[in-house]
Chain A
Amino acid sequence: MKSAAFEYTRAASIGEACELLARHGDGAKLLAGGQSLVPMMAMRLVRPASLIDINEIAALKFVAAEKDMVRIGACTRQAAVERDGALAARVPLLRQALAWVGHAQTRNRGTIGGSLAHADPCAELPLAAQVLDARMVLRASKGKRTLDAASFFTGAMSTAIRADECLEEIEWPVWREPRTGSAFTELCIRHGDFAVVAAAAQVALDEAGRCVRAAFGLAAVGQTPLAFPKLAAGLVGNSLTEDLLRAAANDAADACEPGSDLHASAEYRRHLAAVLAARALHAAHEKAQAA
């Protein structure tokens, strides 16, 4: 399983990476952590004429706290994000999601941006991004633009990134509500495997325990990770009883169109969607209550 031959360039800056992308067009792929791309190259399912290695661009590796968001450089290693305690306090869903991502070796090399750009519908980070409505900053030679998660994820393994663009950084919203809790849960066959179904939730409560803000979503039940802003809005203003949460979860499951594969039928996935969404909401609620 040796990769087919390719041209290799190590980009020293994001500007250089964009310039190379513009020059090579469709024949070029960016190489970040390689945890998703290189297996496909080893199996010759993917054979780019040119690989542009962006691992050495220091400007793409950072975690920057801002007032209402945390900006993470696209090539920041997943392990670095996982270890970052200050980040975990402000965007707890990231660390919770990363606990389900592969293994130590995967996270030591895999990047935040790489997982998002790869856009596997069964992956954890895209779900976190969708649920939190993260914003992707895309850089091209001619300038940059920002897309929200819903616009960014366009289909299975596909995003709105143009051929000459490089994902530069991701803005993760920070919830200012003091009583915020989040949770990420998943059914995977073995620890670290891709999700059969994953669920993420974040809720904020007021002093009286009523929900003032909510977001939740599911992965592996559609072509992209799915967030349910309308159902979440329906939770706002209410006490989050088990019945209410379960109803929201069931509604979300009903709205999905999961697929079948070797490991699970569409029906099993739909069942899991309801169960896991309810569990994520419940756990997020408990965390918020304790906050």
Chain B
Amino acid sequence: MSSYRYIGKRRRAKEHPRFVTGRGRYVADISLPGMRHIALVASPHAAARIASIRADAARAKPGVHYVLTGEEFCAQTDSLPIGVDAPKVTRWALARGVVRYAGEWVAAVVADSRALAEDAAELVEVDYEPLPQVVDPWEALEGRILVHPEHGSNVLYRRKFVWGPVEEAFAGADHRLSFRASWGRSATVPIETFGVVASWDAGTQILDIWASIQMPKYPDQTARALRLPGNAVRVHYDVDVGGSYGVKRGIKHTALAGYLARKLGAPVRLIEDRLENMRGGDMQGPDRVFDLQAAFDRDGTIRGLRIRAVDDVGAYAGRSPLQLGKPVGAICGPYRIPAIEYEPVSVMTNKTPQEAVRGFGQAPTNFAIERTVDRVAQYLGMDRIELRKKNLIRKDEFPYLIPSGSTYDSGDFHTVLDKALAVATYPQLKVLRDQMRKVGKLAGIGIATCLEPSGGNSAFEVLMNPKNETTTWMDSCLVRVDLSGSITGVINNSSSGQGHESLVSTVLGEVLERDPAAIRVVRADSLTALPSNSPVGSRMAIMLGGAAAGAAKRIKQALLAIAAHNFECSLDDLEYRGGDVSLKGVPSKKLSWQELVEIAHRKFHKLPGGLEPGLQAKFVWEVPTGGGLPTADGRIQMYPCYAFEAHVVLVEIDPGTAKPSIRSYVCGHDCGVMINPDIVHGMTYGGIAHGIGAALYEKFAYTAEGQLASGTFMDYLIPSAMEVPGMTIVDHCTPSPLTEFGQKGSGEAGYLGAPAAIANAVNDALSPLRVSIEALPMSHHAIWSAMKEAKSRI
């Protein structure tokens, strides 16, 4: 591996200074003259017909400008897009005649302040006629009560994929096992809620939007919903986003704010309060029950898997059902399993809709696969690590084509696992665990080896909806060198903590051999931006990094062309060093960076023919290995690059109280070349913390009546620094052959493997009691219930 000047070195992130001094610019910091504020009226019922809405008392309150209901809004705007082929499942920000979940927005009040809007919202009188509701997904599958009657069933998507010789594998294997595992409804719940500011300029006929957003095609979908041409919407990407990890799609909030801004001729701002966010923000995550079958031989070889995944997507859907499709790209995990049957089912109930969550369905799937592997080991009485090593794809087998059609680009899974085990001092960890057990504690070690597909080729879109032939997953970068010689990179998306300014400046600095500290990175708006699909699917290190490198190379080529022209030599005779270009072997014949810049900008008489004046370059490119359509049996190349993680966790459970505590956490991580190690590590630590939440603490819990019981931070339990332990990351680097520097994506690292590892650890702790928990989160109560069940059997 070549050594880099800036890539891979510890550098301070460019973003930090403004954040630590309180100078970030988040959407709630934006205040426009005459700006008004929106508060929502939400349905208390999980299913009801709206008989009438009376807003006179609300409108009469001083400071109130407007009360908007679904009757007006749904007639004037278009229904929001859905990722699967279900045109009758329509969706607007406000309920249209019928409410389908408790917390659904029924009316929007606009007032001079948020407080006044909330006062007025309380006075809006809505007459509801409750309807039968369906909350249990299995009941929903039966279809007696329909969430969207026009759709004809509650099933949004269902298909059975068969890849490889599944029947033969199951018939011919020595053993089979089956069990059910469930991933409870949680989400990444950023500390900043979603917010949007919309302002319509009648003079220019442009709708300006500032939002806390992480969403592909956001400007386009906003325009379409509002029945505006695309070039009438200007999304400002230079808004700091306070965390998103997938969920901030906000299209319904934006359509609402955009409509009101135009209607009222004044800027409007909608900042969800936490109650609105939890119930009505539509940002909950996968809610998935897996029925799993494994076929395996006595020597531990896994011959085949059958996976049925039933996901309760809630009362409406956007991209959320597609989270059943993305895992197709890593459906066998990091293992050599030649036969897979996968049956995803997306079903609607009267609950808050889901949205995309970090990993887009891969974390639940990895959990299911890793529980299966541990169960196979347990069945055979085989060591869990040995079983994994037997089935893990070997380093010499890459690139490796999996049965569902994706090729894994590179990896060295065995080495990463060994490194993690070594740093975790696995033999001593086992001794420690056994000592803890001897003094009456419950203690367990959990191992998980999981993939993080990266690069965001979202081929699941066309896989799950053949009518949506989207195969373009591009990103871009523009680089300018100005007359003074300073460099500016322009990116075309908003960021939520991933450090894209640091990423781009580092890459530009590396290619151009100029100090990244002096490189500025700014953001375009959607009217001036190059095409981008926004930071999703762990794609930006690859795509934005690649685009920045591509643009920088074009700048470098231009500089070399100028020098070749002025020295009257060929490009091969030139040496580029630190931005200066000299004749090889004749160091005195040199054009400095500044001199080259001057020629490009000012000295046309010295510019080679065909070269544009100025010094700027853009690079727009398609995701590597992308652009394909699925086969008839649903095989497709999904994401291009595969990062890998190996978790080793020691968990202790208090035998009296059932309280779980994580005593040791080691994560081996291989995402190829890390452009900024601190940033990669940071996201991995954060991903593990998200995983700890999903595994042990967090759940959007619903009552039988469809009421959200955990709608505040008092009941939806986000882990603090006291619950998240110290963690050790062990790096390994298997470069990707597909990217500029060998980098793979890592935005979802940690989260994709932590729940699996913790589930395996807790179950290892419970194994002496011969009881297991196969549902996340493994709450204190769930652990105690399992322990009690074990005791009652004795």
Contact = CB atoms under 8 A, between A and B. Distances in A.
A290 interface: no
B664 interface: no
Given A189-B697, A262-B710, A196 B715 contact: no
Residue among B275, B723, B784 with max Cβ neighbours from chain A (10 Å): B784
A255 interface: no
B720 A272 contact: no
Interface in A35-73: 39, 43-44
B25 interface: no
Nearest to B710: A262
Contact of B717 (A43, A187, A189, A275): A189
Contacts of B658: 268
B656 interface: yes
Interface stretch (B113-121, B375-383, B572-580): B113-121
A191 B779 contact: no
A259 B115 CA distance: 36
A12 B710 CA distance: 40
B780 A196 contact: yes
Given A44-B122, A189-B779, A262-B709, 4 more contacts: A1-B273, A2-B115, A192-B722, A271-B788
A244 B300 CA distance: 52
Contacts of B206: none
Nearest to B275: A1
25 contacts: A1-B118, A2-B115, A39-B714, A43-B275, A43-B712, A187-B657, A187-B659, A189-B697, A190-B719, A190-B722, A190-B723, A191-B722, A191-B723, A192-B720, A192-B722, A193-B717, A196-B780, A262-B701, A263-B715, A263-B781, A271-B784, A272-B657, A275-B656, A276-B657, A279-B656
A191 B661 CA distance: 12
A233 interface: no
Interface in A238-267: 262-265
Contacts of A43: 275, 712
**Size bracket of the A interface:** 20 to 34
A38 B115 CA distance: 15
Interface of B is mostly: loop
A1 B274 contact: yes
A4 interface: yes
Contacts of A276: 656-657
A40 B197 CA distance: 28
Nearest to A264: B781
Interface string A7-38: 00000000000000000000000000000000
A275 B115 contact: no
Nearest to B276: A1
Residue among B122, B656, B717 with max Cβ neighbours from chain A (10 Å): B656
A190 B785 CA distance: 19
Contacts of B723: 190-191
B701 to A, nearest CB: 6
B365 to A, nearest CB: 27
Given A2-B115, A190-B723, A268 B659 contact: no
A192 B714 CA distance: 11
B728 to A, nearest CB: 22
Contacts of B712: 43
Nearest to A4: B119
Residue among B720, B780, B781, B784 with max Cβ neighbours from chain A (10 Å): B781
Contact of A264 (B275, B719, B780): B780
Contacts of A271: 784, 788
Interface string A103-147: 000000000000000000000000000000000000000000000
Contact of B781 (A3, A268, A275): A268
B697 A263 contact: no
Contacts of A1: 118, 273-275
Interface in A136-194: 187, 189-194
A141 B722 CA distance: 46
Nearest to B721: A191
Contacts of B118: 1-2, 44
Contact of B720 (A5, A191, A264, A279): A191
Given A262-B709, A272-B657, A190 B780 contact: no
A190 B693 CA distance: 11
Contacts of A268: 658, 780-781, 784-785
Interface string A265-291: 100100110011001000000000000
Contacts of B710: 262
Contacts of B785: 268
A2 B114 contact: yes
B119 A187 contact: no
A37 B46 CA distance: 29
A196 B119 CA distance: 35
A179 B780 CA distance: 36
Nearest to B709: A262
Nearest to A267: B788
A207 to B, nearest CB: 32
A250 to B, nearest CB: 13
Contacts of B720: 190-192
Interface string B677-716: 0000000000000000000010001000000011010110
Nearest to B718: A190
B657 A262 contact: no
A264 B782 CA distance: 9
Contacts of B709: 262
Residue among A1, A196, A265 with max Cβ neighbours from chain B (10 Å): A1
Contacts of A263: 715, 779-781
Contacts of B714: 39, 194
Given A192-B720, A262-B710, A275 B779 contact: no
A268 B789 CA distance: 12
Contacts of A194: 714
Nearest to B696: A189
A85 B415 CA distance: 54
A190 B119 contact: no
A268 B122 CA distance: 39
Interface string B50-88: 000000000000000000000000000000000000000
A5 B709 CA distance: 27
A189 B781 CA distance: 10
Nearest to B785: A268
A5 B657 contact: no
A222 to B, nearest CB: 19
Interface string A187-205: 1011111101000000000
A141 to B, nearest CB: 34
Interface string B102-119: 000000000000110011
A265 B788 CA distance: 13
A193 B709 CA distance: 17
Contacts of A189: 697, 717, 779-780
Contacts of B273: 1
Contacts of B275: 1, 43
Given A196-B780, A262-B701, A262-B710, A5 B722 contact: no
Nearest to A43: B275
A271 B792 CA distance: 14
A262 B700 CA distance: 11
A181 to B, nearest CB: 20
A279 B714 CA distance: 27
Contacts of B715: 262-263
A190 B701 contact: no
A3 B788 CA distance: 44
B780 A275 contact: no
A272 B784 CA distance: 10
A5 B784 contact: no
B381 to A, nearest CB: 33
A190 B717 CA distance: 8
A238 B478 CA distance: 83
Contact of A190 (B274, B697, B781, B788): B697
A134 B274 CA distance: 38
